[in-house]
Amino acid sequence: MTLSLTNTAKTYADGTRALKPTKLDIAQGEIVSLLGPSGCGKSTLLRIIAGLETPDEGAKLLFDGEDFTRFPVEKRKVGMVFQSYALFPNMSVRGNIGYGLKMQKLPKTEINRRVDEVITLCQLEPYAARPINALSGGQRQRVALARAFAPRPRLLLLDEPLSALDAALRGQLCDELAQLLRSFGITAIFVTHDQDEAMAIADRVAVMSHGEIAQIGTPEVLYRAPQSEFVARFIGAAMPLGRHIDDNTLHFETGSLNLAGSQAGKKAFIRAEDVRLDDTGPLRAKVISVTFLGTHYRIALAGLAPDPVFALHSALSAPKVGDTVGVAINPAAILMLPSDKKAA
Amino acid sequence: MFKSPAKLFQLVITLLACAFLLIPTLQSALAGVTVNYFRGVSSGLTFKWIIEVWALYSGSIFLSIWLALACLMCTLIIGVPAAYALARNPGRLSRMLEEFISLPLAIPGLALALALLQLYGGWREFRMSWTFILVGHVLYTLPFMVRSVMSVLAAIDLKTLEEGAASLGAPPHRRFLDIVVPNALPGILAGALTVVTLSIGEFNLTWMLHTPFLKTLPVGLADSYASMRLEIASAYTLIFFVMIVPLLLAMQWATARAQRIMS
Amino acid sequence: MTSRTFVQLCLLPLAVFTLTFLALPLARLILASGEGEFGWGIYLKILQTPRYYTTLLQTVLISIAVTITALGISTTAGLFLVRNRFAGRGVLLSILTLPLAFPGVVVGFMIILLGGRQGLVNQILPGHWVFAYSAFGLFLGYLYFSIPRVLLTVMAAAEKIDPALEEAALTLGAPPHRVVLDVILPALAPAMIAAGAIAFATAMGAFGTAFTLATNIDVLPMVIYTEFTLSANIAMAAALSVVLGVITWALLLIARSFSGTTVAAGG
- More confident of the two residues A165 and A11: A11
Average pLDDT over residues A246-255: 82
* φ, ψ dihedrals at A122, nearest 5°: -95, 10
Interface ipTM: 0.91
- The per-residue pLDDT for C235 is 92
Residue B167 to residue A78, Cβ atoms within 8 A: yes
Q: How far is B38 from chain C (nearest CA, A)?
A: 7
* Whole-number Cα distances in Å, B128 to B69, B206, B215, B216, C169: 20, 13, 12, 14, 64
Q: Do A25 and A1 contact (CB within 8 A), yes or no?
A: yes
Average pLDDT over residues B149-165: 93
- More confident of the two residues B172 and A254: B172
Q: Is A37 on the interface with B (CB under 8 A)?
A: no
Burial (0-12, 13-18, 19+ Cβ within 10 Å), C23: middle
Residue A74 to residue B170, Cβ atoms within 8 A: yes
Cα(A100)–Cα(A184) distance, rounded to whole angstroms? Answer: 17
- The per-residue pLDDT for B246 is 93
Percentage helix, strand, coil, to 5, in chain B? 80, 5, 15
Q: Is A134 on the interface with B (CB under 8 A)?
A: no
Average pLDDT of the residues of chain B: 92
Q: Which residue of B has its CA nearest to C112?
A: B24
Q: Is A183 on the interface with B (CB under 8 A)?
A: no
Residue A103 to residue B156, Cβ atoms within 8 A: no
* φ, ψ dihedrals at A7, nearest 5°: 55, 35
Average pLDDT of the residues of chain C: 88
The boundaries of every CATH 3.40.50.300 domain in chain A are 3-228
Name the band, by pLDDT with cuts 50, 70 and 90, for residue A69. Answer: very high
Average pLDDT over residues A170-191: 88
By Cβ distance, the residue of C8, C176, C225 closest to B6 is: C176
Residue-by-residue DSSP string for A251-307: E-SS-EEE-SS--TTEEEEE-GGGEEE-TTSSEEEEEEEEEE-SS-EEEEEESSSSS
Q: Which residue of B has its CA nearest to C4?
A: B172
- The per-residue pLDDT for C264 is 43
Among B147, B249, B262, residue whose Cα is nearest residue C260 = B147
- The per-residue pLDDT for A259 is 81
- Position A169 pLDDT exceeds 90: no
Chains touching A, CB cut-off 8 Å, 3+ pairs: B
- The per-residue pLDDT for C267 is 43
Cα(B240)–Cα(B242) distance, rounded to whole angstroms? Answer: 5
CB atoms within 10 A of CB A315: 9
Average pLDDT over residues B160-169: 94
Which residues 88-117 of B have a C-beta within 8 angstroms of C?
Answer: 88-89, 97, 100-112, 114-116
Q: Is A54 on the interface with B (CB under 8 A)?
A: no
Residue B173 to residue C18, Cβ atoms within 8 A: no
- The per-residue pLDDT for B242 is 93
Q: How far is A113 from chain B (nearest CA, A)?
A: 18
The boundaries of every CATH 2.40.50.140 domain in chain A are 239-338
Residue-by-residue DSSP string for B173-188: HHHIIIIIHHHHHHHH
Burial (0-12, 13-18, 19+ Cβ within 10 Å), C90: exposed
- DSSP class of residue A92 equals B
Q: What is the pLDDT of residues A99-158, one digit of tens each?
A: 999 999 999 999 999 999 999 988 899 999 999 989 998 899 999 999 999 999 999 999
- Domain range A239-338, its CATH number among 1.10.3720.10, 2.40.50.140, 3.40.50.1360, 3.40.50.150: 2.40.50.140
Give contacts of B164 with chain A, Cβ < 8 Å. Answer: 80, 82, 86-88, 147
Mutate to test the interface with A, among B156, B159, B167 (most CBs of A within 10 A): B167
Q: How far is B169 from chain A (nearest CA, A)?
A: 4
Cα(B156)–Cα(C45) distance, rounded to whole angstroms? Answer: 52
Give contacts of C14 with chain B, Cβ < 8 Å. Answer: 78-79, 81-82, 85, 97, 101, 142, 146
- Position A244 pLDDT exceeds 70: yes
Residue A74 to residue B179, Cβ atoms within 8 A: no
Q: Do A130 and A162 contact (CB within 8 A), yes or no?
A: no
- The per-residue pLDDT for C259 is 64
Name the band, by pLDDT with cuts 50, 70 and 90, for residue C171. Answer: confident
- The per-residue pLDDT for A253 is 80
Q: Is A154 on the interface with B (CB under 8 A)?
A: no
Cα(A205)–Cα(B252) distance, rounded to whole angstroms? Answer: 55
By Cβ distance, the residue of A50, A87, A151 closest to B169 is: A151
Cα(A310)–Cα(A299) distance, rounded to whole angstroms? Answer: 5
Percentage helix, strand, coil, to 5, in chain C? 80, 0, 20
Residue A148 to residue B171, Cβ atoms within 8 A: no
Q: What is the pLDDT of residues A288-302, one digit of tens each?
A: 999 999 889 999 999
Average pLDDT over residues A37-55: 93
Q: Is A148 on the interface with B (CB under 8 A)?
A: yes
The region of weakest confidence among A255-264, B195-204, B205-214, C132-141 is A255-264
- The per-residue pLDDT for A343 is 42
Highest mean pLDDT among A290-294, B47-51, B75-79: B75-79
Q: What is the pLDDT of residues B232-245, one digit of tens each?
A: 999 999 999 999 99
Q: How far is C224 from chain B (nearest CA, A)?
A: 8
Residue A74 to residue B178, Cβ atoms within 8 A: no
Q: Is B248 on the interface with C (CB under 8 A)?
A: yes
Which residues 181-210 of B have a C-beta within 8 angstroms of A?
Answer: 182-183, 185
User: How much of chain A exceeds pLDDT 90, in percent?
Assistant: 61
- The per-residue pLDDT for A340 is 60
- The per-residue pLDDT for C265 is 41
Strand order in the sheet with A188-192: A78-81, A155-159, A188-192, A31-35, A204-209, A212-217
Top-tier CATH class for C36-259 = mainly alpha
Residue B85 to residue C94, Cβ atoms within 8 A: no
Q: What is the pLDDT of residues A315-338, one digit of tens each?
A: 888 899 999 999 988 888 889 888
CA A334 to chain CA centroid, Å, is: 23
Residue B163 to residue A52, Cβ atoms within 8 A: yes
Name the band, by pLDDT with cuts 50, 70 and 90, for residue B209. Answer: very high
Name the band, by pLDDT with cuts 50, 70 and 90, for residue A341. Answer: low
Which residues 127-146 of B have a C-beta within 8 angstroms of C?
Answer: 135, 138-140, 142-144, 146
Residue A86 to residue B183, Cβ atoms within 8 A: no
Average pLDDT of the residues of chain A: 90
Cα(C205)–Cα(C245) distance, rounded to whole angstroms? Answer: 8
Q: Do A157 and A134 contact (CB within 8 A), yes or no?
A: no
Q: Which residue of A has its CA nearest to B174?
A: A103
Bridge partners, residue A207, by sequence? A35, A215
Average pLDDT over residues A50-66: 92
Strand order in the sheet with A239-240: A239-240, A266-270, A335-338
A to B CB pairs, distance under 8 Å: 67
- Position A1 pLDDT exceeds 80: no
Average pLDDT over residues B160-186: 94
Average pLDDT over residues C29-37: 91
Indicate the pTM of the whole model: 0.86
- The per-residue pLDDT for B261 is 75
Q: Is B156 on the interface with A (CB under 8 A)?
A: yes
Cα(A64)–Cα(A26) distance, rounded to whole angstroms? Answer: 10
Looking at domain A3-228, its CATH architecture is 3-Layer(aba) Sandwich (3.40)
Chains touching C, CB cut-off 8 Å, 3+ pairs: B
By Cβ distance, the residue of C6, C21, C25 closest to B172 is: C6
Give all domains of chain B, ordered by start, each with its CATH number: 57-262 (1.10.3720.10)
Q: Is A237 on the interface with B (CB under 8 A)?
A: no
- The per-residue pLDDT for B169 is 93
- The per-residue pLDDT for C106 is 95
- Position B151 pLDDT exceeds 60: yes
Average pLDDT over residues C234-245: 92
Give contacts of B167 with chain A, Cβ < 8 Å. Answer: 50, 52, 73-74, 76, 78-80, 148, 157
Q: Which residue of A has its CA nearest to B186?
A: A90
By Cβ distance, the residue of A73, A89, A90 closest to B166 is: A73
Average pLDDT over residues B39-50: 87
Q: Is A166 on the interface with B (CB under 8 A)?
A: no
Q: How far is A93 from chain B (nearest CA, A)?
A: 14
Give contacts of A89 with chain B, Cβ < 8 Å. Answer: 156, 183
Q: Which residue of A has its CA nearest to B183?
A: A90
- The per-residue pLDDT for B263 is 67
Q: Which residues contact B177 (CB under 8 A, 6 or more apart)?
A: none
- Position B188 pLDDT exceeds 80: yes
- Position B262 pLDDT exceeds 80: no
- Position C263 pLDDT exceeds 60: no
- DSSP class of residue A336 equals E
Q: What is the pLDDT of residues A84-101, one digit of tens each?
A: 999 999 999 999 999 999
- The per-residue pLDDT for B3 is 62
Q: What is the pLDDT of residues C155-170, one digit of tens each?
A: 988 988 888 888 888 8
